[in-house]
Structures are given as C-alpha cells and as structure tokens.
C-alpha cells in the first residue's frame, strides 16, 4: 500500500445538489513520489468547486 505524505483540500465554491464531474492528473516525481491533482466542477469546467491535491510515497520493491 502506498503512503500519503501530504494532502490539501481547496474548496473554491459551494456545490449544489446535482451531478458533479472531476478530472485527475497523476505525475510521478522521481522513483518514489507521485503527485495527484484533482479538479471538480458541476455545470462549467471553468468554474471548479474543489481542487484537492495529494503527494504519495510509492512502495518500492525490495531486492
């Protein structure tokens, strides 16, 4: 299991009771750290309601 080493939740606006969409991007930094950034929106992708991101320490195989 990978371990989360940092996380931040940014709420940019109020959400309503309707369908929400999200898009995530995962970027690997070196051999051990991955950065995950998410944007969530409802009616318009240009008006996000949340944008959390987190950093994960990846498990390495022991030899």
Distance in angstroms (rounded) separating the CA atoms of residues 19 and 48: 13
What value does the mean pLDDT of the chain take?
A: 85
CB atoms within 10 A of CB 7: 11
Residue 51: which residues within 8 A CB-CB, separation 6 or more?
Answer: 10, 12, 37, 38, 39, 40
**Domain 3-57 is of which CATH architecture?**
Roll (3.10)
For residues 6-20, give the mean pLDDT. 82
Q: Among 24, 13, 19, which Cα is nearest to 48's?
A: 13
The token pair at 1 is 């299991």
**pLDDT tens per residue, range 41-63:** 999 999 999 999 999 998 877 64
């Amino acid at each position: 299991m990978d371990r989360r080493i940092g996380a931040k939740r940014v709420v940019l606006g109020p959400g309503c009771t309707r369908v929400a969409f999200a898009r995530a991007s995962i970027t690997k930094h070196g051999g051990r750290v991955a950065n995950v950034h998410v944007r969530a929106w409802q009616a318009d992708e240009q008006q996000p309601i949340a944008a959390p991101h987190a950093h994960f320490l990846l498990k390495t195989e022991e030899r």
